[in-house]
Amino acid sequence: MLVKLGPADLHDREIRCYQRGEQYVLVVQLGQRVHALNDVCNHAGCLLSGGWLEEQAIVCPCHEYKFDVVTGKNVTRPKLCDDQDSYETKVEAGDLYVQLPEEQP
């Protein structure tokens, strides 16, 4: 489901969190590309958007595991938790859209 999150006015390396119903989406701009991940850490339940970037990885503020913002892959060694879901993004007419999974009833 393609969802409009808001204006695409991010700056390079800026981190934002958007909430859509019960789903939290982390959005990061790296250079000219915008990337989106599930914002809730699947290990500790923390919002990754409260963390910081190291190169192209978001660092979880709760346990400092690192997730690649492009792919959602856990890049921490040893790998002690699962990868994060990543979502396709689209910028159109100044607005940011993200392809989110369908909500389960």
| pLDDT tens readout for residues 18-60 | 998 889 999 999 999 999 999 999 888 899 999 999 999 999 9
**Residues contacting 52, CB < 8 A, separation 6+:** 15, 58, 59, 61
Residue 93, token pair as written in the block: 């007419």
pLDDT score of 86 more than 60? yes
Domains of the chain: 2-99 (2.102.10.10)
Q: Give the pTM.
A: 0.90
Q: Provide the Cα torsion 12, 13, 14, 16; round to 10°.
A: 130
